[in-house]
Amino acid sequence: MTLTKSRKAGFVSFLLVGALFAAIGACVVWFLGADVTLSCQRSDNSCQLVKSNPWGKQETVSQFPLSHLKSAEVVSKQGTGKVRGRNKKTKYQVVLHTETGTIPLSNAWTQNREVHSQNVTMINNYLRSKHEHLSVVESGKVVRIIGIVFLVAGLLALLRGVWGMLKMMLGLGFLLAARR
């Protein structure tokens, strides 16, 4: 007995995998791919975190008095387990220390400590200075690119699945027409 794979149902796999990849990609872009801007104004004693998603929608995440902002810091978390024989890499995030607790500058953890360190230095220097305005942007570009790759791969798989489904439907239509 020989087992063979049915090509007729192959499009279903492409549809399911494509939908999964497209959904994951869209969620990553939407929820983690945003740019987050910290803006502080000394004269108003105010700071706010504004999240701008890739489609231009802006949302104020947090508002607090500048006098409550004490410092900024790069925090890290070590990956657990192993990936292909190597230890997982350390990921970094910027957090703001306020009188009421810590606030992450963005939800995304990245492997680029240097950019985070630059942002922390800018924030801490501003707190020690008398400058009027501070604006620091935590970019979500790398996360957006990863999400877009998943989204495109998912859409291509969906397209392949729809193409397979159409071919099967046309084939069945010709078979039914030939039987009449």
Per-residue pLDDT averaged across 106-125, rounded? 87
- Does pTM top 0.85 for this prediction? no
β-sheet bridge partners, residue 95:
73, 104
Over the stretch 24-74, which tens digit does the pLDDT of each residue have? 998 888 777 788 899 999 999 999 999 887 777 888 889 999 999 999 999
Per-residue pLDDT averaged across 13-21, rounded? 90
Spatial separation of the C-alpha atoms in residues 31 and 49, rounded to whole Å: 15
What 3-state DSSP class applies to 103?
A: strand
What per-residue confidence (pLDDT) applies to 63? 93
Which residue would you say has higher pLDDT here, 125 or 29? 125
Report DSSP state, residue 138.
E
Residue type, 31: F
Over the stretch 144-157, which tens digit does the pLDDT of each residue have? 888 999 999 999 99
What 3-state DSSP class applies to 92?
A: strand
Spatial separation of the C-alpha atoms in residues 50 and 59, rounded to whole Å: 6
Q: Is the pLDDT of residue 118 over 60?
A: yes
* 103: nearest Cα among 66, 49, 30: 49
What per-residue confidence (pLDDT) applies to 74? 93
